[in-house]
Amino acid sequence: ELESRLAEAMPKASAAGKTAIKELRAHISEIAVEKPLLGHDFTALRRASLSRLSAEHGDDLSSAQIDELMETFIAARSNVSQHLYDDVVPALRALREAGVCIGAVTDGNTDISRAGGELSELFDFALTAADAGSSKSAVLPFLQAAYASGHHPSNIVHVGDSISKDLCGALRCGFRALLLGRVGHSHSAEEEALLPSADEQVWRRVSGFLDLVRN
């Protein structure tokens, strides 16, 4: 649906095929440099890049048309159920049944409330970098997550797969943390160098979501 909407709204740019996609990505990077205050807001960056691309190719989209395209994009981006590992939903369901408050914090623009099916019902709240005004590993997203949950940071466990963004960001805010490392996934040497000293009372590694239930 997204491709068809793009072709309909931006026929001239779409005719350029892969070249237009490369240009769109380049514009996102350019605008992030030109407007650093938007660097954390993927929705604003993509909206601005679509506007620039449409003008360059002569499609000249209106703000309303760009908003419609962004709505289609976010809806497609939020349909994440089919991309999850098999253990995710059962683990979240078990935590939910145990009375655990569950939230999502993302640097992207996925709206978990629009994921559909059971998944969207398993979360109490969701925050994007745009909501928080900053991306991870800054403390703002984590502080807002604590506020949304109604719990003190020391009573929150953050789960993520990035050492710099998730683990270090969460610990900096006073959370405890679980570093998720799937089989076959490894961190770069630069990321590994950021690992804090081992302290199982504060953080540890897990290999899957079912480990959250066991721990």
- Tell me the CATH number at 187: 3.40.50.1000
- Cβ atoms of 206 and 194 closer than 8 Å: no
- Residue 3: per-residue pLDDT: 74
- Do both 32 and 131 map to the same domain? no
pLDDT tens per residue across span 25-72: 999 999 999 999 898 999 999 999 999 999 999 998 999 999 999 998
Residues of the domain holding 49: 2-77
- C-alpha pair distances (Å), 144 with each of 41, 44, 151: 16, 20, 11
- Do both 92 and 155 map to the same domain? yes
DSSP labels, 80-91 = -GGGS-TTHHHH
Strands 157-160 and 176-180: parallel
Q: Which amino acid is at 130?
A: A
- Do both 112 and 196 map to the same domain? yes
| Domain end among 77, 107, 139 | 77
Indicate the DSSP class of residue 38: G
Q: Which amino acid is at 68?
A: E
- Do both 202 and 118 map to the same domain? yes
Please state, in angstroms and rounded to a whole number, the distance separating the CA atoms of residues 168 and 187. 14
Please state, in angstroms and rounded to a whole number, the distance separating the CA atoms of residues 72 and 81. 17
- Do both 113 and 41 map to the same domain? no
User: Which structure tokens are listed for 39?
Assistant: 């660097």
Strands 125-128 and 176-180: unpaired
- Residue 46: per-residue pLDDT: 93
- Do both 56 and 109 map to the same domain? no
CA 101 to chain centre: 19
Please state, in angstroms and rounded to a whole number, the distance separating the CA atoms of residues 62 and 68. 10
- Do both 210 and 123 map to the same domain? yes
- Do both 109 and 201 map to the same domain? yes
pLDDT tens per residue across span 109-118: 898 988 878 8
| Domain end among 60, 77, 94 | 77
**CA dihedral sign of residues 126, 128, 131, 133:** positive
- Do both 152 and 168 map to the same domain? yes
Please state, in angstroms and rounded to a whole number, the distance separating the CA atoms of residues 55 and 45. 16
Residues of the chain with confidence (pLDDT) below 70: 1-2, 214-215
- Do both 45 and 138 map to the same domain? no
Predicted structure pTM score? 0.85
- CB proximity list for 192: less than 8 A, separation 6 or greater: 163
- Do both 9 and 97 map to the same domain? no
